[in-house]
Structure 1
Amino acid sequence: MRIALIADVFPPLRSSGAVQLRDLSRQFVQQGHEVTVMVASPELEKPWQLDHLNGMRVLRLRTPKTKDVSYIRRTFGEFMMPFAMLRNLRRSPLADATFDGVVWYSPTIFLGPVAKALKQKSDCPSYLIIRDIFPEWAVDMGLMGRGLPYRFFKRVANHQYSVADVIGVQTPGNLAYFSHGSGSRARLEVLHNWLADTPDTGCSVSARNSPLSGRKLFVYAGNMGIAQGMDILLDLAKRLSHRNDVGFLFVGRGSDARRLRDEAKKLALDNVLFFDEIDPDEIPGLYAQCHVGLVALDPRHKTHNIPGKFLSYMQSSLPVLASINAGNDLIELIQQTRVGRVCTDNSAVTLAALAEELLATLDQDGQIGRRCKALAEQMFSPEAAVRKITLALEYERQGIFDSNTGWTGAGSVSIEAEEATPQYSSEL
Structure 2
Amino acid sequence: MNVLFLMISFPESSKGSNLYTDLAQEFHRNGNEVYVATLLESKYGRDTCLQDEQGLNVLRIKCGDLFNVGAIRKGLSTIRLPGIFKQAINTYFKGVKFDLVIYPTPPITFASVANYIKRRDRCKSYLILRDIFPQNARDLGMISGGPVFAYFRMLEKKLYTISDHIGCMSKGNVEYVMTHNQQVKREKLELLPNWKKVNRESNKPNIAIKKKYGLENKFVAIFGGNLGKPQELDFLLELAALYRERDEIAFLIIGDGTERQRLQAKIHKMALNNVLLKERVPTSDYDALVGVCDIGLINLNRHFTIPNIPSKTLSYFEAGIPILAAVDRSTDFGGILEEAQAGLCSVTGELEEYRENFEKLYRDESLRKRLGRNGRNYLDKNLTVEQAYTNIKRHLSNG
TM-score range for the pair, normalised by the shorter chain length: over 0.9
Q: Secondary structure at the match of 2:325?
A: strand
Pairwise CA distance, 1:376:
1.2
1:280 matches 2:286: no
Number of aligned residues: 394
Q: Secondary structure at the match of 1:41?
A: strand
Q: Secondary structure at the match of 1:367?
A: helix
Q: Secondary structure at the match of 2:102?
A: strand
1:296 matches 2:295: no
Instruction: Kindly indicate whether the alpha-carbon contact (under 8 Å) linking 1:237 and 1:272 is maintained by their aligned counterparts in 2.
Output: yes
TM-score normalised over the length of structure 1 = 0.86
Corresponding residue for residue 217 of structure 2: 214
Pairwise CA distance, 1:202:
9.5
Q: Matched residues in 2 for 1:201 and 1:12: separation?
A: 27
User: Do the aligned partners of residues 337 and 46 (structure 1) sit closer, same or farther apart at CA in structure 2, a change above 3 Å counting?
Assistant: closer
Q: Matched residues in 1 for 2:284 and 2:215: separation?
A: 23
Q: Matched residues in 1 for 2:208 and 2:62: separation?
A: 33
Q: Matched residues in 2 for 1:122 and 1:46: separation?
A: 30
Pairwise CA distance, 1:184:
2.8
Pairwise CA distance, 1:363:
3.9
Instruction: Kindly indicate whether the alpha-carbon contact (under 8 Å) linking 1:82 and 1:111 is maintained by their aligned counterparts in 2.
Output: yes
User: Do the aligned partners of residues 281 and 3 (structure 1) sit closer, same or farther apart at CA in structure 2, a change above 3 Å counting?
Assistant: farther
Pairwise CA distance, 1:180:
3.3
Q: CA offsets per residue over residues 57-108 of structure 1, 9 Å max, x none?
A: 112222222223221121111111111011122222x122111111111111
Q: Secondary structure at the match of 1:149?
A: helix
Instruction: Name the % identity.
Output: 26
Corresponding residue for residue 154 of structure 2: 155
Q: Matched residues in 2 for 1:258 and 1:68: separation?
A: 11
Q: CA offsets per residue over residues 330-359 of structure 1, 9 Å max, x none?
A: 111212322111111522222111100112
Describe how 1:57-206 pairs up with structure 2 within 5 A: 57-92=57-92, 94-182=93-181, 183-185=183-185, 187-198=188-199, 206=209
Pairwise CA distance, 1:194:
0.8
More helix by proportion, 1 or 2?
2
1:347 counterpart (339, 345, 350): 350
Q: Secondary structure at the match of 2:21?
A: helix
Pairwise CA distance, 1:141:
2.4
Structure 1 stretch displaced more, 242-251 or 206-215: 206-215
User: Do the aligned partners of residues 365 and 270 (structure 1) sit closer, same or farther apart at CA in structure 2, a change above 3 Å counting?
Assistant: closer
User: Do the aligned partners of residues 48 and 263 (structure 1) sit closer, same or farther apart at CA in structure 2, a change above 3 Å counting?
Assistant: closer
Q: Matched residues in 2 for 1:63 and 1:122: separation?
A: 25
Q: Matched residues in 1 for 2:360 and 2:75: separation?
A: 44
Q: Matched residues in 2 for 1:48 and 1:61: separation?
A: 5
Q: Matched residues in 1 for 2:326 and 2:45: separation?
A: 42
Describe how 1:205-354 pairs up with structure 2 within 5 A: 206-354=209-357
Corresponding residue for residue 406 of structure 1: none
Q: CA offsets per residue over residues 275-310 of structure 1, 9 Å max, x none?
A: 111233432111122110011000111111110111
Q: Secondary structure at the match of 1:260?
A: helix
Q: Matched residues in 2 for 1:130 and 1:205: separation?
A: 39
Pairwise CA distance, 1:267:
1.4
TM-score normalised over the length of structure 2 = 0.92
RMSD: 2.4
